[in-house]
Structure 1
Amino acid sequence: MQEPCPAPFNLAAYVLSRAAQTPDKIALAVLSPTGSDRWSYARLETAVRGMATGLRGMGLTPGDRVLLRLGNTPDFPIAFLACIAVGLVPVPTSAQLTTPEITRLAAVIRPALILAAPGIALPEPVPCPVARDLGALAAHPASGYLMGDPDRLAYLVFTSGTSGRPRAVAHAHRAVWARRMMWEGWYGLTAQDRLLHAGAFNWTFTLGTGLLDPWAAGATALIPAEGLELSALPLLLKRHGATIFAAAPGVYRKMLMQSENLALPRLRHGLSAGEKLPEALRKAWQRATGTPVHEALGMSECSTFISGSPARPAPEGTLGYPQTGRRIAVLDQDGQPVSKGRTGTLAIHCKDPGLMLGYLDDGKPHLPLTGDWFLTGDQVSEAVDGALTYHGRRDDMLNTGGFRVSPHEIEAAFADLPGVTDCAAVAIEVSEGVFIVAMGYTGPIEEGSLRVAAEAGLARYKQPRLYARLAALPRTANGKLDRAALRACLKEVT
């Protein structure tokens, strides 16, 4: 079982605790084909604690919110931890957000300060002071850590709401301690590892899996420099001796399109999250590298909590198992557990130490969770041995002819076809109240071959009625499939 979070506690102090033990070890290397910018644990902690002093010197008080508008540089995690060190509440946001988007988010969190890099959109009008010289902030003497209750608010992140309105998720300091369940339950992480994460610094998947966890474990984090092409990743993985690789499925797909054989002698395994990893893609990576990919299911409200791992690989076609220490259930519409093998909604117990405090509401610190279970919206079924099979999001599930169908089940029928490089299914409304299954795909395959495969492998009500060849499937800046954008694109075809 997971040990309870120690008290008093500070997230930043915990993450940087290895600086006292191994000050000269490399904590972070920002990689480019021509070299790397290396940060020792001592240098990293000095920058964090210096910036913490600078922030407090601006007149901020514990509990004040700091909006991070920073790019793909070490400034991002340094600012994040500096805020937390002295009780400020950082709010990381994507640098890709436009002025209208970040204006709406700022209205929700009501920041006392914005930390900004050049060329990144700010709210309009700007609601508070803006600090741009982060180097000057970090040059101050080291601050101490503000210790306190592990359950107090540490940071906010935004997640997409089912209504289309982003919601601010409030996390406690204890959230980082709860991530220890992933070390064995997903990563197989040790202090000797060199973990290369392909995402940008300001993606929460990168922040947690690529930075905070390796640092807390005493490992080395490797992050590609801003603007690096994906084609350079195999060289960097090999040159810098990466033992673990983390990325969204789209990154694995693009790397395999470059080469069917990747020589990565020190790599032990890959990690995948962000969207469902197709089984064909997992197998292709295994063939190309000789290493497995361990997938995890998570969400902004609780990070990852279901996964396969080196110690307990996921059975084929499944997500894996609840990490040791997690308490989950699969519930029906009445909130009652479903029997093994039946599909229901995945739920997390509200006492899970990694679960959020709640959603920000009307500027209040957070809305406390009520009841015993938090419903994720993910549709899963549980095997006798506890392995979970994913059937899509509740709001992604397709309704056709009165049947509810997982888009992933449809997509799996085409994933291994020669000439299909990518595909995704959605339901589109062709007339009021009438929906059909539509599929966008990339690759040279002809539509007739797709229809033959559908007839051979899918019940009629599951077969797409519309196929559209696209130059590329729409994806977010972090490589996740954008089903809403795909739905709109295919709607124009009808």
Structure 2
Amino acid sequence: MNANIFATFEAIAREAGEAPFLETDDGQVLSYAQMLGLTARYANALTRLGVTPGDRVAVQVDKSAQNFCLYLATLRLGAIYLPLNTAYQLGELQYFLEDAEPRVFVCAPADYPTKSELAARHGVAHTLTLSDDGSGTLRALAAGESDSFTTAQAQPDDVAIIIYTSGTTGRPKGAMLTHANLLSNGRALTKLWGFTDKDVLLHALPLFHAHGLFISSHCALLSKSRILFLKKFNAEQVLALLPRATVMVGVPTFYTRLLDQPGFTAASAATMRVFISGSAPLLAETNREFEQRTGQIVLERYGMTESAIIASNPFAGERRIGSVGLPIDGVEVRIADGDDRPLAADQVGGIQIRGSGVMKGYWRKPEKTAEEFTADGWFRTGDLGTLSADGYLTIVGRAKDLVISGGYNVYPKEVEMAIDALPGVVESAVIGVPDRDFGEAVTAVVVRKDESLVGDGIITPLKSQLANYKVPKHVHFVTELPRNAMGKVLKNVLRDTYGKTGTAA
């Protein structure tokens, strides 16, 4: 039995045949059979470049059908897919190339001169290009390849994807997700959310994030569903497409922006059987407004890079606003104190998990992997929460200071270091504050030595150094940062003080 998750996709796709798999913004339709042919050509091309099972294929390109098929092709040949945010600057990219040591790096054609040079300096054997219309050297390389490819054999514990995640200390860590992790999570969600071959998934998420890469798309593949594949989220476009869709999976920003559309009504959402939200907190007032407008409650779920989905409100059953629902099949959740002792119902503590969806570990960081697991095998998520007597999980905060803005993880120390290096800055602290659009907005609290320094003097230079989602939305200036007796900055005090967003000062 081949444990390669693509072997399961392949069997289902052969049954689906010419049924539509993926439809792009411009109306192009890729059938399941065509997907098998395209992934075979890509897999053959990569193999010709010397990619073998276990090698890394790093990809930093815009979302496209070809990009998604490249991901599937990488799984198919048993290599490890490494998605990279398109907003990463060269300095950020350098770390990932050094740490992951990919054999192949795929970038946008316009970026080739600078990024191919960087990749070559870090031992990457081949740099290819792929544009959002599918053109580039990868396509040219694959054009003459065969439409057939024997899917590589894989063991359940073989790594399929490495996704880098930010912690609160140190550099980003590569979470290793296995074929078994992905398949167990995908099957559980397909069943839980009720996917069938009659569904049409509205997909407006990016592909460099777990949410868009595999959480919803694997449900479609496992159920022979059709995907309406949008390059990016646009509220007017999504509103126009809703009558053709049945399922939408997104982040809170999607739903707040839909609510800003006057035409978003119960009638416009009549064909939709479920709206699903994750990757950032959905404010309770947003969900109540959504229910008033459409008659539907957005189904909230909870996941993280290290384990994909952990808990979800049920499709059929009570969707409890403010809660992220019940543990999914194959995953156990407990609340524990600082000594890893389980707590009773409704007590606040650290959220710990174990089960088939939990990652194999962090790439080349065995010590860090060991630190994150308890002696009895539970993974410490770093989040704080409660479990109700009937099993519903509620997130109340994070033990770690990670900020999640628009579904993306922001490592505060990285932003603080960039701010502290700016002229006129003494020190800074970066926090997340509640935001209707982004779930949390990155906010900087800065001590300055130059009174002429204003918010734009912080934000503008950071835009050339950091991915846009890491750049503060708000800047506040103070004479000193609050600290405890040990000198640690009290970020909880800052969150209480600046919890209501405002314009940059």
The TM-score bracket by the shorter chain reads 0.7 to 0.9
Alignment of 1:409-488 (within 5 A): 430-433=481-484, 435=490, 437-438=493-494, 464=497, 469-470=502-503
8 Å CA contact retained: 2:168, 2:401: no
Q: Determine helix, strand or coil for the equivalent of 2:241.
A: helix
Which residue number in structure 2 is paired with residue 457 of structure 1?
none
Higher alpha-carbon deviation: 367-376 or 124-133: 367-376
Which residue number in structure 2 is paired with residue 13 of structure 1?
7
Change (3 A) 1:437 1:10: same
Q: Determine helix, strand or coil for the equivalent of 1:131.
A: strand
Which residue number in structure 2 is paired with residue 247 of structure 1?
250
From 256, 263, 282, the counterpart of 2:259: 256
Shift, 1:125, TM fit: 2.4
For the residues of structure 2 that align with 1:363 and 1:377, how far apart are their CA atoms? 18
Name structure 2 gaps, 5 residues minimum.
Answer: 130-136, 404-430, 446-479
8 Å CA contact retained: 2:373, 2:380: no
Change (3 A) 1:83 1:254: same
Which residue number in structure 2 is paired with residue 307 of structure 1?
312
Which residue number in structure 1 is paired with residue 115 of structure 2?
122
8 Å CA contact retained: 1:16, 1:215: no
Change (3 A) 1:466 1:323: closer
Change (3 A) 1:57 1:397: closer
CA displacement, residues 394-434 of structure 1 (integer Å, 9 cap, x when unaligned): 12499xxxxxxxx99x96xx98xxxx998869896624446
Higher alpha-carbon deviation: 172-181 or 376-385: 172-181
Shift, 1:92, TM fit: 1.0
For the residues of structure 2 that align with 1:242 and 1:90, how far apart are their CA atoms? 29
Alignment of 1:388-407 (within 5 A): 388-396=393-401
Which residue number in structure 2 is paired with residue 452 of structure 1?
none
From 53, 65, 79, the counterpart of 1:74: 65
From 299, 309, 327, the counterpart of 1:294: 299
Q: Determine helix, strand or coil for the equivalent of 1:291.
A: coil
Letter in 1 for 2:58: L
Which residue number in structure 2 is paired with residue 131 of structure 1?
128
8 Å CA contact retained: 1:198, 1:247: yes
For the residues of structure 2 that align with 1:258 and 1:77, how far apart are their CA atoms? 30
Matched, 1:203 2:209: yes
Q: Determine helix, strand or coil for the equivalent of 1:298.
A: strand
From 206, 214, 217, the counterpart of 2:223: 217
8 Å CA contact retained: 2:300, 2:323: no
For the residues of structure 2 that align with 1:422 and 1:112, how far apart are their CA atoms? 36
Q: Determine helix, strand or coil for the equivalent of 1:341.
A: coil
Letter in 1 for 2:239: P
Shift, 1:331, TM fit: 0.8
Shift, 1:273, TM fit: 0.5
Which residue number in structure 1 is paired with residue 357 of structure 2?
354
8 Å CA contact retained: 1:19, 1:42: yes
Shift, 1:312, TM fit: 2.7
Shift, 1:322, TM fit: 0.8
8 Å CA contact retained: 1:197, 1:223: yes
Change (3 A) 1:343 1:124: farther
Change (3 A) 1:50 1:315: same
For the residues of structure 2 that align with 1:468 and 1:252, how far apart are their CA atoms? 19
CA displacement, residues 62-109 of structure 1 (integer Å, 9 cap, x when unaligned): 221111122111122211111221121121111111111111111110
Q: Determine helix, strand or coil for the equivalent of 1:122.
A: helix
8 Å CA contact retained: 1:297, 1:304: yes
8 Å CA contact retained: 2:290, 2:296: yes
From 31, 37, 41, the counterpart of 2:28: 37
Which residue number in structure 2 is paired with residue 445 of structure 1?
none
For the residues of structure 2 that align with 1:30 and 1:8, how far apart are their CA atoms? 31
For the residues of structure 1 that align with 2:400 and 2:444, how far apart are their CA atoms? 11
Deviation beyond 3 Å, 4+ runs, structure 1: 366-371, 420-429, 431-439, 463-468
Shift, 1:119, TM fit: 3.0
Matched, 1:333 2:326: no
Letter in 2 for 1:469: G
Matched, 1:99 2:90: yes
Which residue number in structure 2 is paired with residue 113 of structure 1?
104
Change (3 A) 1:467 1:209: closer
Over the residues paired in the alignment, what is the CA RMSD in angstroms? Answer: 3.0
Shift, 1:299, TM fit: 0.3
Letter in 2 for 1:30: T
For the residues of structure 2 that align with 1:322 and 1:272, how far apart are their CA atoms? 16
Shift, 1:354, TM fit: 1.2
For the residues of structure 1 that align with 2:347 and 2:219, how far apart are their CA atoms? 34
Change (3 A) 1:19 1:466: closer
For the residues of structure 2 that align with 1:201 and 1:284, how far apart are their CA atoms? 29
Count of residues in Structure 1 that have an aligned counterpart in Structure 2: 418
For the residues of structure 2 that align with 1:306 and 1:147, how far apart are their CA atoms? 31
Letter in 2 for 1:22: A
For the residues of structure 2 that align with 1:86 and 1:465, how far apart are their CA atoms? 49
Shift, 1:152, TM fit: 1.3
Matched, 1:192 2:198: yes
Change (3 A) 1:376 1:168: same
8 Å CA contact retained: 2:330, 2:357: no
Which residue number in structure 2 is paired with residue 183 of structure 1?
190
For the residues of structure 2 that align with 1:237 and 1:194, how far apart are their CA atoms? 10
From 46, 51, 56, the counterpart of 1:55: 46
For the residues of structure 1 that align with 2:117 and 2:235, how far apart are their CA atoms? 34
8 Å CA contact retained: 2:282, 2:300: yes
Q: Determine helix, strand or coil for the equivalent of 1:319.
A: coil
Shift, 1:231, TM fit: 2.5
For the residues of structure 2 that align with 1:116 and 1:422, how far apart are their CA atoms? 30
For the residues of structure 1 that align with 2:49 and 2:402, how far apart are their CA atoms? 49
From 280, 284, 288, the counterpart of 2:285: 280
8 Å CA contact retained: 2:333, 2:352: yes
Change (3 A) 1:316 1:466: closer
Per the normalisation by structure 2, the TM-score is 0.76
8 Å CA contact retained: 1:66, 1:114: yes
8 Å CA contact retained: 2:482, 2:493: no
CA displacement, residues 357-384 of structure 1 (integer Å, 9 cap, x when unaligned): 10012699x9896741110011111111
